[in-house]
Structures are given as structure tokens and as C-alpha cells.
């Protein structure tokens, strides 16, 4: 949820400012762009050089910059408009009072008053200061402005006392942001199970039966589900694809159809939506050679046996889950997809044809039809796979929230 976000971090003069180096690292790791504005007193607790190095942006502290005899100013309005969200951490009692009463005596306060984005503040102060009625009044007033407090924690304080007032840990702040930003998203609170890629069925230690699936469609579906607030479990066969840094997805890598079957059944019971986009091998060698098979005169015959039908087995166990399958067809596409939809007790099926130019394995595009259990069909034109993933989730969400 923080990937691609522009985040302004305001740092004020409290001992907890040292934690902001870790906070900047976590925000960058989550895929955010970070700019830091700090007060003069904050520079006594944390280095501007450290923060600028970590954020890869200059750290701003004054209205006016003076370098090599030239003057320039830091445009607080532009900063406020640049940000997708603003965090003030640590937020001292002094700064909280200024925020609540509109006291604009430094660059950080000017940026805060100019910000049009959501503002979060993480209080940090000693126990008695935290409990003081004036501090409580600041909290209430700021929340009435629409600002969001990241609650302080209980622990050892700089004074040596133990109690409430300790700034939330950087990891807690990041998780708080993600949870708050996802709470209104359509897949928030839902567990999503997705399969992707091919399966490889061993013939011997070096050879296997497989197919040309790249796994791209399944990975794009997983990324889109995460962007929509879902808690995503992605079960992937052998692919070269990875999850972008900052995207929270539980990636389970498997090789064979049996391993995918086991992983899916492990997670299906508490899943809300399952989308099985993997190209699972229907058959596997009945006997796997322990040693590499040597080439001999004549033909080689390999006896095959059926792999477990993952989609069918999940359809049998389905209770509350919304179950979606994929059908890649080469003939009688629509009738075959409808048959699979009914036979496997699916809520919807995504159909694509190898006869459609730009669709199928190894392509960056796809052309699909979405068919639900009421046989309502929606056909889409040729699109990129990220766009296809968005279309599929739009159709699913329309039905699970109907």
C-alpha cells in the first residue's frame, strides 16, 4: 500500500528522533518516496546527513537556503501538494500544541498547514506530559481536524520512568499506515488464494513434463489483490518471477501438482476468494527414475497417471469461498468453459483461447471472457496482463459485494 506513495516525514526535537533513521529505511523498502522536514531542535538528536542519505533527498529545515553566496527558499506549498501522506514522528508536546493552534514558526509547521493529504502523528514524550490535560486537548483537536494519531506505546522512557508516552516503533508505524490505508479497500480483511505458473512433473532427476506458462497472469492477479487490500497467498510453480519490493504477498514456491494441491488445501479453509490461474499438469510419470535415464536404441515409453484435480477438489470442499478457475481452450471454447464451470462447482471462470492473437502463454497481453455461475458473460478486448488482472478483480468484487 505504500508502494509509489510520496511521504513527507516531519521530525521534531525529541530523543525518539533517533528512530526515524529506521523509519525512513522501512518506508523506502516498502516502495515509498520519502522527503524529510525537520525542526532545528531535531537536528540535535539525528543527523541530516544520515536522513538525506537514507531518503535519497535533501533534508529540509529552514525556509531559506544559503549556499555559495546564493539564496533560495524551500517552497512549503509545493511540499504540501507533493505528499500523498504526511507523518510527524516524533510529535513532541510542543509541536502538537503548535499543530492544534496553528502556530507557524518553522518550516515544518508551514508544511503541515499547507498539506492537503492525510496527516498522521506519533506522539513521544514523558509519562506526565503525555497524560497532561493540555496534551489530551491537542490530541482531540488534531483528530477533529481529520489527523490520525499513531498511539504511543508503554515502556521505558528517557527519564528512566516506565509508562505510556514512548513513540511507536518504526515497524509499528509502517504497519499502522498500511492497515489504515487499506481499511476502506474492497478486499480489506479478506484472505485471497491465487495459483500461478506451470507445474513440473519429474521423469528423472534432470527431466520433467511441463508447459510454457510463465506465471505472469497469476502474479499480476496477486499484485492487484494486494493493492486492493487483500491478504494474499500466492502458490507458484517454477517461474523466474518475483514479488516487487514493498508488496506484501505470502509467496509459496512449489514444483509439482501434488505440492500445489497440498498448499492450496492447507490455505483454502479460511480463504475468502480463490483464483486458480496456474497451468497444472494433468498427468505425471507413474514411476520416477532415481538416476538419469540413459539414451538407448528404440523408443522410450513413459507410463503416466492422473494428477489430483486441484480445482475440482476445492469445488467439492467449497463453503463460503468464491472460487474462480481458468480455461485455456483451442476449440469449442465457450461450451468447454461452461462445462468446466458447472462440473467443478465454480463461481466464475476466466476463458481465453490460444487462437486469439496476443493471448496465451508467454505473452505480455491477454484476451479474456469472464463467465459467472449464472452464465453471465463479459468479454474484454486485448489488454496488458496488469489491465486484465484489474478487470478480473473488478468482476469478482462486483459479485462478492452484491
Known active-site residue 211: yes
Map residue 187 onto helix, strand or coil: coil
**Cβ neighbourhood burial of 183 (10 Å; 0-12, 13-18, 19+):** exposed
**What pLDDT does 69 receive?**
61
CA distances from 223 to 217, 220, 251 (A): 10, 5, 11
Q: For residue 258, name the pLDDT band (cuts at 50, 70, 90).
A: very high
Q: Are 274 and 246 in contact (CB under 8 A)?
A: no
Q: Which residue has the higher pLDDT, 48 or 155?
A: 48
- The torsion angles phi and psi of 311, rounded to 5 degrees, stand at -65, -45
Q: Please, what are the domains in the chain? A: 6-182 (3.40.50.1950), 191-283+305-400 (3.40.50.10300)
**What pLDDT does 66 receive?**
66
**Cβ neighbourhood burial of 185 (10 Å; 0-12, 13-18, 19+):** middle
Q: Which cell numbers hold the place of 248?
A: 506484501
Mean of pLDDT values over 95-101: 97
Q: Are 279 and 239 in contact (CB under 8 A)?
A: no
**What pLDDT does 71 receive?**
67
Q: Are 254 and 276 in contact (CB under 8 A)?
A: no
**Cβ neighbourhood burial of 137 (10 Å; 0-12, 13-18, 19+):** middle
* Cα radius of gyration (the chain): 27
Mean of pLDDT values over 93-122: 96
Q: Residue 110: pLDDT above 90?
A: yes
389 alpha carbon, distance to own chain's centre: 15
Q: For residue 68, name the pLDDT band (cuts at 50, 70, 90).
A: low
| pTM (predicted TM-score) | 0.80
**What pLDDT does 274 receive?**
98
CA neighbor of 272 nearest in space, from 348, 345, 191: 191
Q: Are 371 and 337 in contact (CB under 8 A)?
A: yes
Q: Which of 6, 94, 211, 345 is catalytic?
A: 211
Amino acid at each position: 500500500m505504500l508502494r509509489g506513495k510520496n511521504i513527507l516525514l516531519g521530525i521534531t526535537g525529541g530523543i525518539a528522533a533517533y528512530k526515524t533513521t529506521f523509519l525512513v529505511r522501512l518506508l523506502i523498502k516498502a516502495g515509498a518516496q520519502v522527503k524529510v522536514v525537520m525542526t532545528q531542535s531535531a537536528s540535535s538528536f539525528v543527523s541530516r546527513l544520515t536522513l538525506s542519505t537514507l531518503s535519497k533527498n535533501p533534508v529540509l529545515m529552514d525556509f531559506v537556503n544559503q549556499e555559495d553566496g546564493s539564496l533560495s527558499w524551500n517552497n512549503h506549498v509545493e511540499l504540501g501538494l507533493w505528499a500523498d501522506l504526511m507523518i510527524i514522528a516524533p510529535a513532541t508536546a510542543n509541536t502538537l500544541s503548535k499543530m492544534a493552534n496553528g502556530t507557524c514558526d518553522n518550516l515544518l509547521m508551514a508544511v503541515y498547514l499547507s498539506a492537503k493529504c492525510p496527516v498522521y502523528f506519533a506522539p513521544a514524550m514523558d509519562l506526565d506530559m503525555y497524560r497532561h490535560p493540555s496534551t489530551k486537548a491537542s490530541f482531540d483537536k488534531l483528530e477533529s481536524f481529520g489527523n490520525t494519531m499513531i498511539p504511543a506505546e508503554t515502556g521505558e522512557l528517557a527519564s528512566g520512568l516506565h509508562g505510556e508516552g514512548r513513540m511507536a516503533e518504526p515497524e509499528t508505524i509502517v504497519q499502522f499506515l498500511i492497515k489504515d490505508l487499506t481499511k476502506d479497500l474492497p478486499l480489506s480483511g479478506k484472505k485471497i488464494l491465487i495459483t500461478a505458473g506451470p507445474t513440473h512433473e519429474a521423469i528423472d532427476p534432470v527431466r520433467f513434463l511441463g508447459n510454457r506458462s510463465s506465471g505472469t497472469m497469476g502474479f499480476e492477479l496477486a499484485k492487484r489483490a494486494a493493492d486492493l487490500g487483500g491478504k494474499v497467498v500466492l502458490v507458484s510453480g517454477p517461474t523466474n518471477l518475483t514479488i516487487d519490493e514493498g508488496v506484501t504477498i505470502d509467496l509459496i514456491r512449489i514444483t509439482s501438482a501434488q505440492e500445489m494441491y497440498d498448499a492450496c488445501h492447507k490455505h483454502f479453509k479460511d480463504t475468502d476468494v480463490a483464483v486458480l490461474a496456474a497451468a497444472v499438469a494433468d498427468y505425471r510419470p507413474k514411476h520416477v527414475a532415481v538416476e538419469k535415464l540413459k539414451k538407448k536404441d528404440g523408443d522410450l515409453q513413459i507410463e503416466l497417471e492422473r494428477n489430483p484435480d486441484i480445482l475440482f477438489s476445492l469445488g467439492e470442499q467449497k463453503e463460503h469461498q468464491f472460487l474462480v478457475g481458468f480455461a485455456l481452450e483451442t476449440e469449442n471454447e465457450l461450451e468447454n468453459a461452461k462445462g468446466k464451470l458447472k462440473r467443478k462447482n465454480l463461481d466464475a471462470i476466466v476463458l481465453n483461447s490460444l487462437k486469439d492473437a496476443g493471448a496465451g502463454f508467454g505473452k505480455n497481453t491477454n484476451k479474456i471472457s469472464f463467465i459467472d455461475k449464472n452464465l453471465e458473460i463479459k468479454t474484454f478486448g486485448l489488454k496488458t496482463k496488469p489491465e486484465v488482472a484489474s478487470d478480473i478483480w473488478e468482476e469478482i468484487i462486483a459479485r462478492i459485494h452484491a
